[in-house]
Amino acid sequence: DTAVSQTPKYLVTQMGNDKSIKCEQNLGHDTMYWYKQDSKKFLKIMFSYNNKELIINETVPNRFSPKSPDKAHLNLHINSLELGDSAVYFCASSPRVRSGNTIYFGEGSWLTVV
């Protein structure tokens, strides 16, 4: 009965590899997000999708490409991984793109690039 689930939880990979993190929400929400949390615990938004449409795209390298096959899924694909990509990536969702809506976070995916 997990609300926002993301896989894998842990991922260790070599520089230059391509990897994907999957996210699914069963809350019926219209909006989904990807956040990155660095080693200093600072959360930063990367992307936001509303009904499969990209609405927020912060300054993120082109190596990061989100894919939303339907409004319940938002996957993150990363090409040519670099050491600096090591972080915790959180998927999240909210009912609609409304100012006061609660955002529900997944449990995070720990990515380590070696």
Partner 1 sequence: KNQVEQSPQSLIILEGKNCTLQCNYTVSPFSNLRWYKQDTGRGPVSLTIMTFSENTKSNGRYTATLDADTKQSSLHITASQLSDSASYICVVSAYRGSTLGRLYFGRGTQLTVWP
Q: Say if strands 87-94 and 10-13 run parallel, antiparallel, or are unpaired.
A: unpaired
Out of 14, 39, 59, 99, name the contact with partner 1 by CB under 8 A. Answer: 99
Q: Which is nearer to partner 1, 44 or 67 (CB)?
A: 44
Residue 112 interacts with partner 1 (CB under 8 A): yes or no:
no
Residue 2 interacts with partner 1 (CB under 8 A): yes or no:
no
Q: Which is nearer to partner 1, 14 or 99 (CB)?
A: 99
Where in 34-63 is the site for partner 1 (CB under 8 A)?
A: 40-45, 48, 56
Strands (E), the chain: 4-7, 10-13, 19-25, 31-37, 43-50, 53-57, 64-70, 73-78, 87-94, 104-105, 109-113
**Gap between the Cα atoms of 52 and 31, Å rounded:** 8
Neighbours of 11 (CB within 10 A): 19
Cβ at position 8, least distance to partner 1 in Å:
14
| Residues forming the site for partner 1 (CB under 8 A) | 4, 31, 40-45, 48, 56, 90, 92, 94, 97-108
